[in-house]
Amino acid sequence: MPIVAKLTERSEKDERLHRIRHSTAHLMAAAVQSLWPETKLAFGPAIEDGFYYDFDTEHRFSDDDLRTIEAKMRELARRKARFERQEIRKSDALDLFVRLGEKLKAEHVETLPDGEITLYRSGDFVDLCAGPHVEHTGQLQHFQLTSVSGAYWRGDENREQLQRIYGTAWESREELEAHLARLEEAKRRDHRVLGKDLRLFDFPELAGPGLPFYLPKGAHILQALKDWMWDLHVSGGYGHPEKCYEPLLTPHILKTDAWHTSGHIQNYRENMFMVYSLDELDQGLLAQESKEGSSKEGLGNYGLKPMNCPGHLMLYNVGTKSYRDLPVRYFEFGTVYRYERAGTLHGMLRVRSFTQDDAHIFCTPEQYPDEIEGVFDFCCHILDTFGFEYHVGLKTRGEKRIGDDAIWDMAEEGLRRILEKRAAGKYYVQEGDATFYGPKVDFIIKDSLGRDWQGGTIQLDFNLPDRFQLEYVDADNQRKRPVMIHRAILGSFERFFGLLVEEFAGALPLWLAPLHVRVLPIGEAQADYARGVVSALGQAGVRAELDDSAEKLGKKIRNGKTEKIPFLVVVGAQEVASGTITVEGYFDGKIREVTRVEELAQRIHQEIAAKTPRRR
């Protein structure tokens, strides 16, 4: 099971890089304060591949400023100022930063435990810092400032708006150049670039931001994914043939009252699109409702669903459930709509309309550990099918939530037990990142630039069954409340699609490829023969098409490779004479042992059946 643990220990090499990066952050801060003396400091840590420093200043840093700061940094580095460690009392540190006007530093000092506090000096620059650092600034040479962005003090958008400058730093020029080359390479795997080049999907500007449209090839891939997932659900999911899921289909809008019952209006409102008729609007009914203190709060009669759970909760209530019916496992490939803030949209990885491979499992309190374990295995199986490396994290209760603490204790402990059993030592915990109705286990996949994205999720919920008054009749003839598990395996088809494209650099596994074979006749004389090959492949269940353009073979090959078509079949006079084909594989080059249509079809079917994940 290739769950990858988040690294907590650093190698010696990492340690050296960490010193360089953190020291370079100090050097940058010194340069910035030298150029703009009124600038105040926030935090400036080392991060993966580099560092950043947050500044509090009226000046707005531009890209040109970065070059100026870099030049100043190199000038300061030439002075080879030593990094000197200094321990002082907390009260002295406080005095120092207050005297320097470093308001944020002083605020931070106050949060530190009493006792000695370490400072680091290099030249005229002094910073609150635990270290360690390199010996002197002359050792800082292989860096580059990369970007400027906004940030908030302590990550709180209600606090000071700061400006963050990012940089990268390495031990040698070669390492720095290799890093920049890796970034270039990552662009070639970017699903947004490939999605455009390969004609998979589009985001029409007229439609609105974050609304993905699938072009024919993308729709093909998506449908193959959906068919696969549907089959796995109705046949029981991975490794649990007795645990079949049953499909549901629910509407895209529900009455506003439903979203009150679920708690979404109270806890999820900033993400919701509401729906009202123009008639209501024209008649001023919305404003009227607003005044009369109606439950609709002037939001209109309906809300567009940001989640599928309320619909499933309502359907559980159809008919009386016996303990013999449990667990009930309902799934739906449900399209949801969320008002994501404009700055957060990102290709297919973060959109405003997306389809979840969503399911809700209703079971007894005794059953949920086994259910969660089954879902856990399901997630691992799907990710392993593609050979993804992924992290697993536990997210616990946050500020916005419904339900008693005792219930949260129980739910969090339940998830923790499963993780200890299935991923001991490999999972990590994020306090406060749960959903508003329950804690969750998330499966995290990285994109081509190493950014984390949540895919599968398992959420344990003791609260919504209560709000929707779900019941089952137990063996003792008592009415009892079921436990609910919300889960998605891929997460959403859109995000998973995007991550697949990046993982495979656009050359998807054969079973997902929109086209398997393109047949390339060398000249017009072979057109009929080529058509016969296409048709024979089609008869054999292979997706094939003909390239009858008036181009030379070299050009047709190049086009096919550029489009990442898995197999190209060349037919010329020789093939016609011998009744054969010549096969060129995207990954294989010329495949000499395959000379007949049936052999190619067989090979393709084998690779499809095995779902072989091939990469360059």
Partner RNA sequence: GCCCACGUAGCUCAGUCGGUAGAGCACAUCCUUGGUAAGGAUGAGGUCACCAGUUCAAUUCUGGUCGUGGGCUCCA
Q: Which residues pair with 570 in a beta bridge?
A: 520, 582
Nearer to RNA by C-beta: 197 or 377? 197
Question: Footprint of RNA on residues 236-295 (CB under 7 A)?
Answer: 271
CB atoms within 10 A of CB 279: 8
Is 312 one of the binding residues for RNA (CB under 7 A)? no
Nearer to RNA by C-beta: 211 or 410? 211
CA gap 313, 47 in Å, rounded: 43
Coil, strand or helix at 491: strand
For residues 279 and 362, the answer to whether their CB atoms sit within 8 Å is: no
Smallest separation, CB 61 to RNA (Å)? 6
Q: Which of 525, 541, 606, 611 binds RNA (CB under 7 A)?
A: 525
Nearer to RNA by C-beta: 6 or 561? 561
358 a catalytic residue: yes
Q: Which of 219, 407, 557, 614 binds RNA (CB under 7 A)?
A: 557
Question: Footprint of RNA on residues 53-82 (CB under 7 A)?
Answer: 60-63
Q: Which of 90, 192, 217, 596 binds RNA (CB under 7 A)?
A: 192
Is 435 one of the binding residues for RNA (CB under 7 A)? yes
Nearer to RNA by C-beta: 126 or 508? 508
Angle at 508 between CA 507 and CA 510, to 5 degrees: 110
Q: Which of 235, 277, 288, 574 binds RNA (CB under 7 A)?
A: 574
Q: Which of 53, 227, 231, 264 is nearest to 143 (CA)?
A: 53
Angle at 606 between CA 602 and CA 610, to 5 degrees: 170
User: Per-residue x/- marks for RNA, 575-614, CB under 7 A?
Assistant: x------x-x-----x------------------------
220 a catalytic residue: no
338 a catalytic residue: yes
Three-state helix/strand/coil letters over 162-205:
EEEEEEEEECCHHHHHHHHHHHHHHHHHCHHHHHHHCCCEECCC
Q: Which of 351, 380, 419, 484 binds RNA (CB under 7 A)?
A: 351
Is 427 one of the binding residues for RNA (CB under 7 A)? no
Is 505 one of the binding residues for RNA (CB under 7 A)? no
Three-state helix/strand/coil letters over 284-324:
CHHHHHHHCCCCCCCCCCEEECCCCHHHHHHHHCCCCCEHH
CA gap 84, 381 in Å, rounded: 52
Q: Which of 205, 231, 282, 405 binds RNA (CB under 7 A)?
A: 205
Q: Which of 325, 340, 474, 545 binds RNA (CB under 7 A)?
A: 340
Smallest separation, CB 140 to RNA (Å)? 22
DSSP per-residue codes, 528-577: HHHHHHHHHHHHTT--EEE---S--HHHHHHHHHHTT-SEEEEE-HHHHH
Is 504 one of the binding residues for RNA (CB under 7 A)? no
Question: Footprint of RNA on residues 477-496 (CB under 7 A)?
Answer: 488, 491-492, 494-495
Which position among 26, 141, 309, 363 bears the catalytic label?
309
Q: Which residues pair with 224 in a beta bridge?
A: none
**Residue 83, burial from CB neighbour count under 10 angstroms (0-12, 13-18, 19+):** buried
Residues acting as catalytic residues: 309, 338, 356, 358, 360, 440, 486
